[in-house]
Amino acid sequence: MLFNSIEYLVFFLAVLAFSWATVKLPVFRICILLLANYYFYASNNYWLIVVFFITTQIDYWCAILIEDANSEKRRKLLLYVSVVTNLLILGFFKYCNFFADTVVDIARLFGVELGWTSLNIVLPLGISFYTFQSLAYTIDVYRKEIKAVRFWPKFSFFISYFPHIIAGPIIRPHYFLPQLDKKPTLNFAQLEMALMYIFRGLLKKIVFSDFISNFADQAFNDPGSCDVFSIWLGVYAFTFQIYFDFSGYSDIAIGCARLMGYEIPENFHRPYMSRSVTEFWRRWHMSLSFWLRDYLYIPLGGSRVNKEYKVYRNLMLTMLLGGLWHGAAWHFVVWGGLQGLFLCIEKYFGIGNYKADDTKLNLKRLFQIFLVFHFAVFSWIIFRAENTERLLEIFKRMFTFDQDIVIYYGTAVAVVIMLIGLLNQFVDEYTSFTKRYINSPIYLKSLYYSIVVMAMVFFSTDEVKQFIYFQF
């Protein structure tokens, strides 16, 4: 069930009506919404709900037992049970074939032939997201930062909340669980904000992302047929496609949650306006970045270690694992390693840490944004290319001028969409669109919604395209 489908619209409106009809019955409301969460997840592949159910059961009981344990040894053992079980489940479904194929390939290098047939394992949707979210819960209980939840529907609702379960954001327990103890509210300002997020997300997905994805697909699926202009257009198109697609999902999730009276944190903060790779990772997929920082980088020692090289080791390990989190393939590991390498370089030279309130615009800032943006462009090529052969072919075509340039139908529209995406981030860096929207007169808001709806109708196709991050 996709956000950009009629099926989801009907489902959401029904859930929204039930959620507010039962607002005076908080326990019943949570149970009703929990059933909706499970139905939403099961609609994608009904039997995989069993995997999800096992994960929530293990972490629910582990957290309670950790809190009740009377010795540190027992608390730590129970934490290990939670962490190891979650990682084993994630590893089997997501990385089993990858690791087995890697062992076979390494053995072949030494002249040893090992027999292995890749298993046809169905990847549960959102497993990387809800596994990290559930792990954060048990770890936080172990750290005594939160109390264990002793009402299973409440805990399961937190993990399975349908707006974000498939592709995030990864919600931290201290942020969301307290909301379940309060009576939800929805005033007119919150309603306006929620609708703004939903329509903005749909615009990003249906109009922007899905349209320019055609140019990205051509460049990455068949680079040999592309001239130099088409290949560059496709590379830039994917750079904006992945932003529009992923941030669009997050926007819709935030808006839907707010309509039901809950808050979901922002996941993007104008990433293509970053002046360093360090800043980029504080703006892109922030829920994952901060999760990796708090549950991996800092536990490894972070920057507070007795040897300088350990800081760089911690950065590299964090980003390598962050790359592997995105998918079971070596190009994701290489992509993560590249991010880690540049974070280490910036750390070594003492650059990359900029004040959040430093918004002074000058040529130096513009040059920094230009460099980091194009670092992102080239790193997304590694992220998207399926193998080394395809990657090298794309880089070759980007600097080969042996074909006549062909301008395809819709090229101008694709270029305009990308420019709008870049300009929107640039303008929003210095003036808040959200505040201007809320303070604008009703006729301008009506015009905004009318334009978005007409654009969605014009650009929509019979095929409902799924979101990129569903595969992670």
Q: Which of 149, 212, 123, 135 is nearest to 472 (CA)?
A: 123
Is 326 noted as a catalytic residue in this protein? yes
Return d(Cα 215, Cα 219) in angstroms, integer: 6
339 touches 319 (CB < 8 A): yes
Q: Would you give the end-to-end CA distance of the chain in angstroms?
A: 16
Task: Give the separation between CA 345 and CA 315, rounded to whole angstroms.
Answer: 11
Q: Tell me if residue 350 falls in helix, strand or coil.
A: coil
- Given a contact cutoff of 8 angstroms between Cβ atoms, the answer to whether 320 and 344 are in contact is no
Alpha-helix residue ranges (DSSP H) falling in 22-126: 26-42, 49-68, 72-109
On whether the CB atoms of residues 37 and 161 are closer than 8 A, the answer is yes
Report residue 414 as tokens. 């694709």
- 164, 285, 326, 331: which one is catalytic? 326
**Alpha-carbon span 307 to 305, nearest angstrom:** 6
DSSP 209: I
| CA-to-CA separations, 374 to 11, 368, 385, in angstroms, rounded | 40, 10, 17
Alpha carbon dihedral 334, 280, 267, 126, in 10-degree steps, equals 0
Measured distance CA(346)–CA(350) in Å, rounded: 6
Residues annotated as part of the active site: 326
